[in-house]
Structures are given as C-alpha cells and as structure tokens.
Amino acid sequence: MKKLTALILSLLMVLSLAACGGSGNDSAKDNSGTPSNSDTNGSSTSGGKADDIVLWTLSNDLKQFAERYEAETGNHVEVVVFDSADFQTKIMQTLGTKSKDVDVFVGEPQMLPNFYEAGFCADLSALDGEVKSRLVDYTYEAGCDEDGVLRAISYQACPGSVIYRRDLAQEVFGTDDPDEIGKLFSSFSAIEDTAAKLKDKGYTIFGDTGALRWFSNSSNPWVKDGEIIVDQDRLDYFDCAVNLYQNNQVAFATEWSAPWYASMAGPLPVLQDGDDVWGMDKDQLMNEAAGGGDGTTQVFSYVMPSWGALIVRDNAEGNKGKFGVCSGVCSFFGGGTFLTINEFSQHKEAAQQFVEFCTLNDDTAQWWLTASNGDVVNNKAVLEANKDFENESFGNQKTYAFYAKEMESIDYGLITGYDDACKDAFGKAIIHVQKGEMSKEDALKEFYTTVTTQYPELSVPADAPVQP
C-alpha cells in the first residue's frame, strides 16, 4: 500500500505540474496525455453494439488484432493508443474515478502490481487453468496478483538473449556456435575475458555497459524480507561495468542513440567518453566509418529481450543474416503487453471474448508469429509447432526453439516491485565510479540512501558491502 500511495502522490504532482503549463516538441501528444494515434477521444462505445468495446494500449500491434477480430466476429474494438510516458498516469487518473469509458487496457509487467493493488483489474480466474497450462509460465505468474488471482494475460513473451555477430565470432573465437559463444557470456568474469580478446582484434564487446543491467537479477531479488540485497554477483556486475568502461572495451555508443543503431550495420568511428552521441546522425556515422578516418571499431554483441533481436535485424542492413542469439549470465525477460479487463466495465463478457481471442486462440498466435515477422508468442503449442523454423536473419538459427528453451529458466520469483528503483540507483552508482566522480564505497552508500529515501520501509542488511 505504501508503494501505491507513493505512486498516486507522484502522479498527482505530475498532473499539478501539467496544469501549470509545459512545453515539448512531441507532435504525437499534448500535455494532457492525449492519445498518440487513435480514432477516438477516449469516449465509451455508448450507442454501439453490446459486443463493441474500447481498448487502451501502448502500441499499434493491437490495432491489427482488433482488425482481425472484427473480420472474424463482426464485433468492433475501438483502439486508443497512448504515448508510453503518459499511459500509467492516464490509467491511474481515469480508473481512479471508476470510469467505464474503457473496457480492456494493457500493462507492462512493472506496471501491473500497481494496477492490481488499485483494484482496476477484473478477476480472470475463469481462464486460470487454460492460461496456466497453455501459456509460458513466467507470464502466468506476472498476470497474477499477490494473492495468486489471475488478472492479466499476455499474447507475447519477451525472453532475453545475447545477440552476437557470427562473422566476428568466427574471426576472434574460431566458432559461431551459440552454445560455445554462450560460454563467453556465462559470468561477469567471462565477459571481461571476452572483452579483452575482442579489444585485441580492434572490436568492442557492447555499445555501452548498460547492456549488463539485464543480468542484475542473476542470483537474488533486489529486495528480500524488506532488505536491499547487494550480493557478490551484483558486486561482480558493478566491477565488470566499471572495468569495461575504463578499459575502453565498449564503443561509447549509448543504447538508442544513432551510433548504437549504426553499429548494427557495420563499422563505427571510434568514439570517446563524453562525445555527444545524441547529436549524431546514423548515415553520417556510417559514411565516416566507410572512409576510414581516425580508425573504426565494430560492436560484437547486444543484450536485450527478444524484441531487441527485431531491432537489430531491422537495422542490420548489409549485416542481416550475420547475427546469432545465445544465453548469458542468467535468463531474463523484459517488457511484454498484458491485457486486462477494467473492473468497472459494463462489457466484461465481450471484453473477455476479445482477450481470449488475442491470447488463447492458437490460430491467432500462429497468425501473429507470422504477421509480426519474429515476435515470440506466448502460446507454448505454437512455439513448439515452429521450433524447426530457421531464421535467415540470424544465420538460419532456430530462434523460436532457442527462446522457448530460454524461457524455461526464467525465475519470476526474483522479480519485485522495487526492481526499477534499485536498478536505476545502482546504475547511477556505477556511472559515478566509471567517470571517477566517486569511490566505489561512496557510490554504494549513495545507492542505499537513494533507495531507502524513496522506500522508507526498506532497510540495509547488517552484512551489506557498506553502510550508508
């Protein structure tokens, strides 16, 4: 309840600031959280058929589901797409008034506990047995509230992997076999050894050290019995990130920047710590690298959920087909679109019919696997049916089989509602040490202070590496 109260207070602050005015260049939305891509002003479907419903979502994917659903059933789904920065605020604000204007809405895993606690998500227990038996295990757990009641269902799964360059692997390590390359990423010490070998050949292991954050849940949850856990694995993660950075074994191409995208397509000019990567242009960087200049490097790997593999594929250009996927320090997941029904909806039966169509229909799952051109669906039977599919974008690797196996090792018990705050504060502590702004001890003290200030109910254990 303390976390929910804190969230509501923060949202009220956001809303009050918005009321005081603001500025921005995002043409897709205004400051009040207007939908970024929709055919509606968010009003209900009053006046339509009884089976017509309204869906609020974060992406355009569900527009395609709605179109297919209407073609098969004749029932209309009015899809409203919101900008992700506004979405959680919009849900808390709207459903906090018990609004009936939305029937189905989505949430990402980190949002769901707040929606559950607020009482916004209808009970889907009638579907529990089918979801538990037919869909990927960790997504079932994410869809249940703290009492084990099913309240949200996903049509996709987002297992993680290391996405690596097969051609560079052959050159440096003499093999591009996913099992063998996986050993090079099996621990933080192995990653450091791998980075050193790549640097000797003029390559960098990652775009930046942020890639390592996906492995921060390798052994323990961030919070256990009310205490913040920084175990040896997290200290190894800390040291690995600092060493890679200070030894210039990353490309200083920050995730989502132009250099990061450009690195997927080929050589990248050698960048320096502090370069303004956000002011760079992808095409210009590629042209500069092609000309030689003061030297180039190539990025060997990226650590991301399965949707990240699609990003690499779509930006690979001439390198398309030269990538592979393998395991890393630990199995993980990131993101995912979960559908839930508004507790206050007057169209719950129709809403459930649509949710079932999106998540529990084998034909829908097979259609989406094909239509999305690579999304990992949540349906275990459909993944099994496609296990022998050879993905030409990844060296004809059987990627669906890989991800299906990888998901078996995901431990949802390591996930807590405090993860985002802990990861963010820990990442900032690492950056302070990377840049020489703080000692490791002082940075860890600041980490503990930041988290306990945000969540006073948490404490620092007596055996912590440092005491704040």
Give the pair of three-digit tokens for residue 150.
């099913």
Amino acid 293: pLDDT:
64
Second-level CATH architecture of 2-14+26-158+334-386 = 3-Layer(aba) Sandwich (3.40)
Q: Provide the CB-side half-sphere exposure for 14 (13 A, CA).
A: 17
Q: Among 37, 50, 89, 4, which residue's Cα sits nearest to residue 345?
A: 50
CATH number for the region 161-326 comes to 3.40.190
Amino acid 234: pLDDT:
97
For the chain, where do the domains classified as CATH 3.40.190.10 start and end? 2-14+26-158+334-386
Q: Among 366, 376, 387, which residue's Cα sits nearest to residue 410?
A: 376
Rg of the chain's alpha carbons, rounded to an integer? 23
Amino acid 59: pLDDT:
86
Ranges under pLDDT 70 in the chain: 1-50, 292-294
Q: What is the number of other CB atoms lying within 10 angstroms of the CB of residue 4?
A: 17
Q: Among 309, 304, 303, 302, which residue's Cα sits nearest to residue 374?
A: 309
Give the separation between CA 141 and CA 148, rounded to whole angstroms: 8
Amino acid 312: pLDDT:
96
Amino acid 84: pLDDT:
85
Amino acid 86: pLDDT:
85
Q: Is the dihedral of CA 154, 157, 158, 160 positive or negative?
A: positive
Q: Do residues 168 and 300 touch, judged by C-beta distance below 8 A?
A: yes
Q: Do residues 368 and 174 touch, judged by C-beta distance below 8 A?
A: no
Amino acid 14: pLDDT:
35
Amino acid 48: pLDDT:
56
Q: Model's pTM, two decimal places?
A: 0.87
Q: What is the pLDDT of residues 88-116, one digit of tens each?
A: 999 999 999 999 999 999 999 989 999 99
